[in-house]
């Protein structure tokens, strides 16, 4: 998968071994993952490195941070056309209370939010909790 290297280089991230592994992990997982998730997957690696790797990904714009209300920061790769820094493009996140997984729902956009006068919105975070499609069909 030299593809991975291209992704990193394209976003001005030096493709180190660790970063490639983390990127692959993120690609395989379709759900948002936490630092601890990554840590558990790469047994002999250091948490700080993973922490900084994930942060680098966010800074460079290939993934975004998710606050799903569990108190644990999650990360997910951005889609091709993701402009997660721009508020109009923000998608919603769904947190399943059964399997405890958080997924990005990109098909449906956040409807326009009305705010009282003089409030300026810079950013919208919408998390829906409930039962996900997988758990519902079990």
Contact 121, 87 (CB under 8 A): yes
Decide which of DNA, a copy of itself, none touches 123; Cβ closer than 5 to 8 Å per partner kind: a copy of itself
Q: Please list the residues that pair with 29 across neighbouring strands.
A: none
The torsion region of residue 106 among left (phi > 0), alpha (psi -120 to 50) and beta comes to alpha
53-112 binders of a copy of itself (CB under 8 A): 67, 69, 71, 73, 92, 94, 97, 105, 107-108, 111-112
Return the number of other C-beta atoms located less than 10 Å from residue 11's C-beta: 15
Contact flag: residue 133 with a copy of itself (CB under 8 A): yes
Decide which of DNA, a copy of itself, none touches 118; Cβ closer than 5 to 8 Å per partner kind: a copy of itself
First to last CA, the chain: 34
Enumerate binding residues for a copy of itself (CB under 8 A).
67, 69, 71, 73, 92, 94, 97, 105, 107-108, 111-133, 136-137
């Amino acid at each position: 998968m030299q593809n991975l290297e291209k992704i990193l280089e394209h976003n001005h991230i030096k493709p180190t071994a660790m970063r490639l592994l983390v990127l692959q992990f993120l690609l395989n997982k379709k759900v948002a993952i936490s630092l601890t998730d990554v840590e558990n997957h790469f047994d002999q690696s250091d948490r700080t490195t993973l922490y900084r790797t994930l942060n680098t990904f966010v800074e460079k714009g290939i993934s975004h941070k998710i606050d799903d209300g569990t108190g644990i920061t999650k990360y997910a790769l951005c889609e091709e056309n993701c402009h997660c820094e721009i508020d109009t493009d923000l998608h919603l996140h769904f947190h399943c209370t059964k399997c405890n997984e958080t997924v990005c729902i990109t098909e449906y956009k956040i409807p326009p939010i009305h705010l009282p006068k003089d409030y300026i919105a810079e950013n919208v975070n919408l998390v829906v909790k409930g039962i996900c499609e997988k758990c519902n069909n079990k």
